[in-house]
């Protein structure tokens, strides 16, 4: 009998139907010479330190570097203890009996690094020696499963993939266990969690948060001139920016005195915009977060459900390309969408020409090709499932669509020696942008507008010239979309699509694991959501400030480890060499964390929280923060370039107001002033000025 093992019961059911197994048993389905069984994800994992005889968190035990790693079946927490999961014990017993009675195993766990690890750990744990072959498919449609069974490959062909998966698993154990214990020992209180990928990801969030909060906006002024030609009114912005309103007013008078504005240059350029590449999981997660507010984990969950329902291809892919043989299926898949209410009109007007092949490259297809729909009709979907399906289907149409061709115009103008410019754009061929009827964003500070036909030396009347007061802005807080982009490029700011693709091997985490990493930060209570933004909690900031200069928080180094894991999977690197490097790294970070000075809670000044009344405000180097996570009141020490003392912060927290303080600096004028700091009704800090310097007028301080 051939034993097929799938990753989930739902997948096992689909496979069983294809191979003719329809006799349901307890833990498997039997028939036609097959027994189809399943796991529930990771049934087996690496044992914890206590299973090596190492109890508690003790400095003398670190670093913990097992010579041989032990496997343990999945456990559940009962009270304060962890015990074997009864459901896992039962299913493993079924799997072991089947493996002992079968002739061959067909591995049908998810075709990727983690799917391989799930099977190999089970195989090792139950002590099986059966030969096995691998089913490697990119969708669960009947045709894909049938084709996959025609091309089963020897299991040993995937030994390098398993070596990579095991190396990742043991590396995460070594770094996570040692770093977490070392930090907890150094702190002297509580249990603190650090991780190989978790901590650099937290560092990305916290560093952006602190950069944003510490940002000092600078005021500047710009002129906006309104003019017209042939009854078409349009604006132009001054090329120069002015540091004071006085200078801006002088230049405005100069412009108005000129009476007219002259066109000094018109540059027209035809721009061809290639269609975007197909989605991989990370790009889908980023755009679902930006467009629909979905978390990375929610998008993955929906995409996995669509995959298991046979509606889309395997979602945990890191490739944005398909191979030549998959290209042959695309015309049929596009034809299927003719009845789709969103895409039917576009398909009828477009797809009678050659497909764009920008997303076709056999050399760039990794374990799985990019996300596409399958031939199964998308019926019976929930609202959220329909949204994700439509994104995948629409992106497939865009990727194989025509270029979008535009004519961009840049106009230079002069009024009394003051230079202005404006930009216009006309779409000549909408191409792929017609799929969702994308419109260009306009009317932003340097955006495009509708322009009349302008030629050099045109003289136009000045209808108005206004002064715009602007402020420089910090980089925004990370959203899940921007965080995923930062993880993919190891924290580097990369806008170009091709450059991002080239950096994928150096990213932190993988498309399959990034959502789980972000969710771990939420579960550890290190971060929280404020609308779409990701914000560190008190606990998260304390951890980050403690380790931000340590190796454990080094995003680039974590990216290098991920690159090494990819090389192990491709056979370019030896797993043993990688493991030795991780042991050295784990030893280094353990020493760093044990030797550090942690900001002890009981060494910090604290007082009751004035907002929630139940929490405790602890004063740190840069902030005073409430320890009650549901409250999270934060008071920054630096206000208007003035550093408040511990005493002044205590006065504010205890009495709701400080004494009058000198030395605040105005962001507009740069002059110093005196004020008290107090809370408003929402517990935001505001200035209160002395009576002889503006009465009791209040103004937000931050």
3-state per-residue secondary structure call for 18-65? HHCCCEEECCEEEECCEEEEECCCCCEEECCHHHHCCCCCCHHHCCCC
C-alpha span between 362 and 355 (Å, rounded): 16
- Please name the residues in contact with 131: beta carbons below 8 A apart, sequence gap of 6 or more: 104, 105, 155
Cα torsion 13, 14, 15, 19: sign: positive
Q: What is the pLDDT of residue 503?
A: 64
Q: What is the pLDDT of residue 603?
A: 46
For the chain, residues with pLDDT lower than 50 are 440-446, 601-603, 693-696
Q: Under a CB-based contact definition with an 8 Å cutoff, are residues 204 and 486 in contact?
A: yes
The pair of structure tokens assigned to 337 is 């969408």
- 429-440 per-residue burial string, b: 16 or more CB within 10 A, e: under 16: ebbbbbbbeeee
Question: Residue 468, SS3?
Answer: strand
Is position 189 annotated as part of the catalytic site?
A: no
Q: What is the pLDDT of residue 604?
A: 55
Active-site residue, from 125, 158, 314, 321 = 314
- 405-414 per-residue burial string, b: 16 or more CB within 10 A, e: under 16: ebeebebbbb
C-alpha span between 387 and 403 (Å, rounded): 25
Closest to 428 in 3D by CA, of 403, 399, 394, 451: 403
Closest to 288 in 3D by CA, of 477, 532, 4, 54: 532
Q: What is the pLDDT of residue 303?
A: 97
Which contacts of 325-332 are long-range, i.e. CB under 8 A and separated by 24 or more positions? 326/369, 326/372, 327/355, 327/357, 327/360, 329/375, 330/355, 330/372, 330/396, 330/400, 331/355, 332/375
Euclidean distance between the first and final Cα of the chain, in Å? 71
Q: Under a CB-based contact definition with an 8 Å cutoff, are residues 29 and 3 in contact?
A: no
Q: What is the pLDDT of residue 444?
A: 44
If you search the block for the tokens 């509606």, which residue do you land on?
A: 311
Reading phi first (left if > 0) and then psi (alpha if -120 to 50, else beta), residue 418 is in: beta
Q: What is the pLDDT of residue 690?
A: 86
Specify the pTM.
0.79
C-alpha span between 495 and 492 (Å, rounded): 10
Whether residue 63 has a cis bond before it, omega within 30° of 0:
yes
Q: How far is CA 309 from CA 63, 285, 374, 382, in A?
A: 46, 19, 10, 12
Q: Under a CB-based contact definition with an 8 Å cutoff, are residues 168 and 565 in contact?
A: yes
What is the helix (H) or strand (E) element at residue 574, kind and residue range?
A: none
What is the per-residue pLDDT across 103-116, written as a single tens digit (0 to 9) for each?
999 999 998 899 99
Neighbours of 8 (CB within 10 A): 16
C-alpha span between 55 and 604 (Å, rounded): 31
C-alpha span between 227 and 236 (Å, rounded): 8
Q: Under a CB-based contact definition with an 8 Å cutoff, are residues 214 and 466 in contact?
A: no
Neighbours of 87 (CB within 10 A): 12
Q: Under a CB-based contact definition with an 8 Å cutoff, are residues 684 and 700 in contact?
A: yes
Task: Give CA angle at 172 (169, 173), nearest 5°.
Answer: 85
Reading phi first (left if > 0) and then psi (alpha if -120 to 50, else beta), residue 310 is in: left
């Amino acid at each position: 009998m051939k034993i097929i093992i799938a990753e989930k019961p739902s997948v096992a059911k689909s496979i069983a139907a294809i191979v003719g197994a329809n006799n349901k048993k307890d833990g498997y389905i039997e028939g036609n010479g097959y027994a189809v069984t399943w796991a529930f994800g990771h049934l087996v994992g690496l044992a914890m330190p206590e299973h090596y005889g190492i109890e508690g968190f003790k400095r003398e035990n670190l670093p913990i570097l097992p010579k041989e790693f032990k496997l343990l079946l999945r456990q559940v927490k009962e009270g304060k203890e962890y015990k074997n999961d009864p459901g896992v014990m039962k299913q493993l017993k079924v799997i072991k009996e089947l493996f002992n009675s079968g002739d061959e195993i067909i591995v049908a766990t998810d075709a990727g690094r983690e799917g391989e690890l799930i099977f190999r750990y089970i195989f090792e744990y139950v002590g099986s020696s059966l030969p096995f072959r691998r089913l490697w498919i990119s969708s669960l449609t009947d045709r894909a499963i049938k084709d996959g069974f025609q091309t089963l490959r020897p299991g040993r062909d995937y030994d390098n993939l398993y070596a990579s998966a095991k190396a990742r698993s043991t590396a995460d154990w070594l770094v996570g266990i040692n770093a977490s214990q070392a930090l907890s020992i150094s702190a002297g209180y509580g249990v603190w969690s650090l991780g190989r990928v978790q901590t650099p990801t937290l560092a990305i969030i916290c560093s952006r948060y602190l950069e944003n909060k510490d940002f000092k906006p600078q005021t500047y002024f710009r002129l906006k001139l309104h003019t017209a030609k042939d009854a078409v009114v349009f604006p132009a912005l001054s090329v120069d920016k002015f540091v004071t309103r006085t200078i801006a007013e002088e230049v405005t008078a100069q412009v108005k005195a000129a009476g007219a504005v002259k066109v000094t240059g018109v540059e027209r350029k035809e721009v061809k915009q290639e269609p975007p590449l197909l989605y991989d999981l990370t790009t889908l997660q980023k755009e679902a977060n930006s467009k629909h507010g979905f978390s990375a984990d929610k998008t993955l969950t929906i995409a996995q459900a669509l995959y298991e329902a046979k509606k889309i291809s395997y979602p945990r892919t890191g490739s944005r390309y398909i191979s030549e043989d998959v290209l042959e299926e695309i015309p049929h898949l596009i034809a299927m969408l003719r009845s789709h209410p969103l895409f039917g009109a576009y398909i009828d007007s477009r797809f009678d020409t050659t497909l764009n092949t920008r997303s076709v490259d056999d050399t760039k297809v990794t374990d799985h090709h990019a996300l596409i729909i399958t031939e199964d009709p998308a019926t019976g979907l929930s609202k959220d499932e329909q949204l994700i399906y439509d994104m995948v289907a629409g992106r497939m149409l865009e990727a194989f669509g025509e270029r979008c061709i535009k004519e961009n115009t840049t106009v230079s103008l002069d009024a009394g020696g003051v230079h202005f410019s404006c930009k216009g754009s006309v779409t000549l061929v909408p191409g792929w942008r017609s799929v969702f009827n994308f419109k260009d964003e306009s009317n932003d500070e340097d955006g495009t507008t509708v322009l009349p036909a302008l030629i050099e030396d045109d003289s136009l009347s000045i209808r108005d010239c206004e002064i715009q007061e602007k402020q420089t802005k910090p980089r925004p807080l990370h959203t899940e979309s921007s965080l995923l982009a930062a993880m993919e490029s190891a924290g580097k700011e990369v806008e170009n699509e091709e450059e991002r693709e080239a950096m994928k091997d150096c990213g932190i985490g993988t498309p399959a694991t990034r959502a789980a990493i972000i969710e771990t930060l939420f579960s550890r209570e290190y971060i929280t959501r404020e609308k779409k933004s990701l914000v560190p909690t008190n606990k998260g900031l304390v951890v980050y400030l403690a380790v931000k200069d340590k190796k454990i928080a080094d995003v680039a180094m974590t990216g290098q480890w991920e690159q090494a894991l990819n090389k192990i999977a491709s056979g370019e690197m030896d797993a043993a060499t990688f493991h030795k490097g991780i042991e050295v790294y784990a030893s280094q970070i353990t020493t760093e964390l044990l030797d550090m000075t942690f900001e002890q809670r009981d060494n910090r000044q604290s007082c009751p929280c004035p907002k929630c009344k139940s929490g405790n405000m602890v004063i740190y180097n840069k902030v005073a923060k409430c320890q009650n996570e549901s409250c999270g009141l934060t008071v920054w020490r630096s206000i208007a370039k003035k550093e408040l003392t511990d005493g002044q912060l205590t006065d504010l927290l205890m009495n709701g107001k400080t004494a009058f303080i000198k030395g605040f600096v105005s962001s507009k004028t740069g002059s110093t002033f005196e004020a008290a700091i107090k809370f408003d009704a929402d517990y935001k800090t505001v200035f209160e000025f002395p009576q002889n310097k503006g009465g009791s007028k209040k103004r937000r301080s931050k």
